[in-house]
Amino acid sequence: MTHSQELFMMSILSICLAVAFMTHELGMSFAFGAFLAGLMISESEYSHNAFGNLTPFKDVFTSFFFVSIGMLLDLGFVIANPWLVIATVILVILIKTVIAGFTAFILGHTFFGTVVVGLSIAQVGEFSFILAGLGRTYDIITPYHFQLFLAVAITTMALSPLLINMSRPLATLILKLPLPQYLVDGLFPMQQFEIPEIKNHIVLIGKDSRAINLAAMIKKMELPFTSVVFDPDLARKQIEKGDKAVYGDAVNEPVLRKAYIHTAEMVIVSVGDLIKAMAIVEKVRTLNKHAYIIVRSKHVTDVEELVRLGANQVIPEEFETAIDFFERILGKYLIPRLDIEKSVARIREDNYGIFRDREKVDGYSLLKDIPDIEIAAVRVALNSPFAGKKISETAMRKTYGVTLVALKHGENIIPNPEPSTLISGNDIAYIFGKPEMIATIVNVLSEHQNT
């Protein structure tokens, strides 16, 4: 069996051309045949690879499409009939908004979602040009009406960004009116309950598999958290399981306040899209100046912008995936765990630079001025060589180059512990130092993990 990408590409193009010719022979257009071929390929297990190979062609053909549409339009017709074009544009937008919004409402969207969906797809679709072209070919529509169609279609497509941007503010404005509750909540409203006031908790924002898995892990550790989910079905499932979930767009302040973002200790943003993440981080930082914000991004180049807007730590998934691979490779070659952790710490420092785990707090912060220093919390193993010893007996600073700044024994935290303080198993030690030094002391304190 061959694995040639060239043969795969030729096969995809052959399928598209074959289906296009077949539909043409049946009396339909080549374009409609290509559309059907695309539907067939999208349902196959090779759709992502095919799409990746066809992306350059997509950009070229998109340019040809808009150039050809522009060449067909007669500007003289628009100048001669401005009011007709404007009135038709308004009529098309209203009709398509109502139809699309009504469909979304029937499918269970809230009124907010209905307005956003309706205005987002209120423009004349690209497929309409194929139908209009066929109508013109078979003299079903006159040249006059064809020019009217072109003028209206191009105008609505040009207005699309404006309509999409104004959909959310418009929906929020309309919701201030005394609308019926069934219209506001949709036909399939979620179970409504007020989240009791909560402080020093985690707010998890996102609806992807990473956010879902993270919520399950946080719940298993019995940590207090709330979720903000922009997916009615997922939000409904989480509520039914007893989770404190809020349905809505995390860019909206009322939604964030319902999740008590203003009293949260930590906020996790896992939305994938950079622009969306930037808007959420900026809004969260406005509402909560002290929360520790962790954001998932795609690329290392996103780190600087997200940190500038208020994120404390940014995790670029592509880079962290590479690090995970690197750790497994070194482990396979039987490199000592301590050396692996030191190497990874240096790699992160080289790539993240001053933006690595930056903590923005009011007032002076040593960690902000010395970016290659961090504080780590480590649980002391029962069989650790430090368990049962006094701090002065460990020679931690002299031997490992780190400082024990606090010690948690049970529920009590001892800040700046005395040298005579006893370290016990299961205590949590707060270590201050460089990442590679911390990696060394973690290996000693948690020695049971390597036995």
Question: pLDDT of 21-50, one tens digit each?
Answer: 888 888 777 777 888 888 887 777 666 667
Q: Where are the beta strands (DSSP E) in 397-438?
A: 403-409, 412-415, 428-433
**Final residue before a domain boundary, out of 72, 90, 108:** 72
Q: Please state, in angstroms and rounded to a whole number, the distance separating the CA atoms of residues 168 and 116.
A: 6
Residue 252 lies in a domain: yes
What digits encode the pLDDT tens for the residues 152-165? 999 998 899 899 88
- The residue-averaged pLDDT of 391-413 equals 87
Taking Cα atoms as reference points, which of 360, 237, 245, 234 lies closest to residue 295?
Answer: 360
- The residue-averaged pLDDT of 107-114 equals 81
Three-state SS at 360: coil
Q: Specify the pLDDT at position 269.
A: 93
pTM of the model: 0.51
Taking Cα atoms as reference points, which of 207, 269, 271 lies closest to residue 234?
Answer: 207
Task: Spell 56-95 as b/e; 16+ CB within 10 A means b.
Answer: eeeeeeeeeeeeeeeeeeeeebbeebeeebeebbeebbee
Residue 101 lies in a domain: yes
Domain count, the chain: 4
Q: Does 138 score more than 80 pLDDT?
A: yes
**Final residue before a domain boundary, out of 280, 301, 332:** 332
What CATH number has the domain bearing residue 381?
3.30.70.1450
Q: Please state, in angstroms and rounded to a whole number, the distance separating the CA atoms of residues 178 and 94.
A: 22
55 and 94 fall within a common domain: no
Q: Within 10 A of 225 (CB to CB), how many other CB atoms are there?
A: 22
Q: Specify the pLDDT at position 89.
A: 94
Q: Please state, in angstroms and rounded to a whole number, the distance separating the CA atoms of residues 125 and 133.
A: 13
189 pLDDT band, cuts 50/70/90, is low
Q: Does 185 score more than 70 pLDDT?
A: yes
Q: Specify the pLDDT at position 45.
A: 66
Q: Does 367 score more than 70 pLDDT?
A: no
Q: Does 312 score more than 70 pLDDT?
A: yes
272 pLDDT band, cuts 50/70/90, is confident
Q: Residues 206, 207, 211, 217: what is their CA dihedral angle, to the nearest 10 degrees?
A: 120
- Percent of the chain topping pLDDT 70: 89
79 and 32 fall within a common domain: no
What is the domain range of residue 322? 202-332
317-332 and 337-352 are packed helices; what angle lies between their axes, rounded to 10 degrees?
160
Q: Please state, in angstroms and rounded to a whole number, the distance separating the CA atoms of residues 377 and 397.
A: 16
Q: Residues 366, 372, 377, 383: what is their CA dihedral angle, to the nearest 10 degrees?
A: -130
94 pLDDT band, cuts 50/70/90, is very high
Q: Specify the pLDDT at position 284.
A: 92
Q: Specify the pLDDT at position 191.
A: 56
Pairs from 353-362 (Cβ < 8 Å, separation ≥ 24): 355/303, 355/304, 355/307, 355/314, 356/313, 357/312, 357/313, 358/307, 358/312, 358/313, 359/292, 359/312, 360/310, 360/312, 361/290, 362/289, 362/290
The position carrying tokens 């993990």 is 449
Q: Please state, in angstroms and rounded to a whole number, the distance separating the CA atoms of residues 205 and 227.
A: 6
Q: Does 202 score more than 80 pLDDT?
A: yes
Q: Does 364 score more than 50 pLDDT?
A: no
258 and 322 fall within a common domain: yes
Q: Where are the beta strands (DSSP E) in 281-410?
A: 292-297, 313-316, 374-379, 403-409
Q: Does 193 score more than 60 pLDDT?
A: no
Q: Does 178 score more than 70 pLDDT?
A: yes
- How many residues does the structure list for the chain? 451
Q: Specify the pLDDT at position 317.
A: 84
Q: Specify the pLDDT at position 369.
A: 55
CB-CB contact of 105 with 142 (8 Å) = no
Residue 82 lies in a domain: yes
Task: Spell 155-172 as b/e; 16+ CB within 10 A means b.
Answer: bbeebbeebeeebbeebe
What CATH number has the domain bearing residue 243?
3.40.50.720
59 and 140 fall within a common domain: no
Higher pLDDT, 119 or 318: 119
- The residue-averaged pLDDT of 361-375 equals 57
CB-CB contact of 106 with 183 (8 Å) = no
447 pLDDT band, cuts 50/70/90, is low
Residue 274 lies in a domain: yes
**Final residue before a domain boundary, out of 300, 332, 364:** 332
67 and 108 fall within a common domain: no
- The residue-averaged pLDDT of 364-383 equals 71
The pLDDT mean for the chain works out to: 82
By mean pLDDT, which of 188-202, 240-254, 281-295 is the weakest?
A: 188-202
- The residue-averaged pLDDT of 217-240 equals 84
Instruction: Read off the amino acid at residue 428.
Output: I
Higher pLDDT, 265 or 193: 265
64 and 99 fall within a common domain: no
